[in-house]
Amino acid sequence: MTAPAPSLRAQLAHKKRVLTAAFVGTGIEWYDFYLYGAVAGLVFNRQFFPDESTLAGTIASYAVFAFGFLARPLGGAIAGHLGDQLGRKGMLAASLVTMGLASTLIGLLPTYESIGMTAVVLLVLLRLVQGLSSGAEWGGSAVLTVEHAPASARGLFGSFTQVGSAVGMLMATGTIALIQALLSPEQFLAWGWRIPFLASLGLVAFGLYIRLGVADSDEFRNLQKDGRVQRAPIKQVIRHHRRALLVTIGLRLAQPGLFAILAVYTINYLAERRGDTTTAVTAVAMVSAVGLLSGVVWGRLSDKWGRRRISIVATTGIAVFIWPYFWFLDAGSLVFLPLVMAFGMNILHDAVYGPQAAWFAEQFPVEVRYTGVSLGYQVGTVISGGLTPVIAVSLLALGGQRPWLICGYITVLCALSLWASIAARDPVVDGKSDDAAGSAGGETGLPVGEITAREQVAI
């Protein structure tokens, strides 16, 4: 006998659980991942690379930061392969546990002074594990959330995965700012930095409880039922969906590059140039709090105005903004840093980032969606966000301690992302039956439709 269909109340309750799981689970993942970036220029350059010069130690510390990004495409490929075959839910639970364990072990790691180069090797290995986990996380969360969304609210639903980044950054920087306020600089450097890493274990347990209550979408379960699961989804993406893959990679260049400058590199830049180690951390925490709202707003606006239009305007804005931003860091009053950073992060950055989960999912059909989304997102992130801090440090030195080369680098990333924004399919604007992957060799299985008034009020 066929089981009765769930009631509308049960369906809406499950949709809310999906949004909560995306928000909480992704937030915890990013909290763990961003902790390293937040303390890289303050602690790890001294605790794990003390024999180097200040410049060399900072470059080495950010190089390890980049290693985590380098592992993300591999994590995305593995999780995408398994997620497109076995389901999204299991991969998301595994990624959460893996990330939590790696972060906890970083918090317990002896420093260079205690065990020498072994400390550096272990730090690199744990950062690689973080990268593998992060690579598995975003694609699965984005796909699962968007596949549960009403057709005309994909940007809204997908934004809950996106604001997880703001949640993670807010928790990471907020925790560090609090510990810095409670401890002396010497205490923070000696042992205080370990506290937020060790707290990860409890957060992961909570996130796992929320995430295990979510089921795979009907769309994916029907795929399994009909025997349309791909045996080699990576091969299918590369062979039949190259255009969609290149577009998603391009869309990931400008936004993570700007994020790495604002949320990671600025902390070290102000510490080295103006001797300020706290203002940037506090500013990042503040704009991350605003990002909890702005990311959702931009996701919803993309359902009305279209992803492409918003991305073109915001990416152009980033290319212009980055030039006066560094002038401000050198000569402006740091009292206004939160306002300047809010413009860059909550308006320009979030306008691009908020709709990305929905837009990426709309580029690939369901049978290869986890793999395609993960590869495009993570490869683009490696090229831009993962390498940007170490590139910025090097470009500053090459430019005679003037940041114009850094600004030029971000501008080039913006030019590439503008091309991708123009080339990407946008069902909201195109007004077709969501043939988002048509030119890449398939249908998305995400038909255009309207969210009912009752659903909109309930959600």
Q: How confident is the model at residue 421 (pLDDT cuts 50, 70, 90)?
A: very high
The pTM is what?
Answer: 0.80
Rounded-to-integer distance, Cα 82 and Cα 76, Å:
10
Q: According to DSSP H, which parts of 252-386 are helical? A: 254-259, 266-274, 279-305, 307-331, 337-342, 350-353, 356-361, 369-381
Nearest CA to 37 out of 109, 132, 106, 113 is that of 106
pLDDT tens for 82-133 read 889 888 888 888 888 888 898 899 899 998 888 888 888 888 888 888 888 8
Does residue 279 have a pLDDT over 70?
yes
Q: How confident is the model at residue 255 (pLDDT cuts 50, 70, 90)?
A: very high
Residue pointed to by tokens 């790890």: 44
- Half-sphere exposure of residue 91: CA atoms within 13 angstroms, side-chain side: 31
Q: Give the lowest-confidence range in 58-72, 122-136, 337-351, 373-387.
A: 58-72
Does residue 6 have a pLDDT over 50?
yes
Mean pLDDT calculated for residue range 309-315: 97
Nearest CA to 229 out of 80, 434, 18 is that of 80
CATH fold, domain 14-216+230-458, is Growth Hormone; Chain: A; (1.20.1250)
Instruction: Delimit the domains of the chain by residue range.
Output: 14-216+230-458
Nearest CA to 32 out of 124, 136, 106, 125 is that of 106
Rounded-to-integer distance, Cα 314 and Cα 350, Å:
9
Does residue 419 have a pLDDT over 70?
yes
pLDDT of residue 323: 97
Specify whether the CB–CB gap between 334 and 276 falls below 8 A. yes
- Report how far apart, in Å, the C-alpha atoms of 44 and of each of 116, 193, 206, 454 are: 13, 10, 28, 51
Q: Give the lowest-confidence range in 34-48, 251-265, 284-298, 444-458.
A: 444-458
Q: Give the lowest-confidence range in 43-52, 338-347, 385-394, 417-426.
A: 43-52
φ/ψ of 9, rounded to 5, equals -60, -45
Query: Could you give the angle at the alpha carbon of 275 between the alpha carbons of 272 and 277, nearest 5°?
Result: 90
Enumerate residues 6+ apart whose C-beta is below 8 A from 182.
192
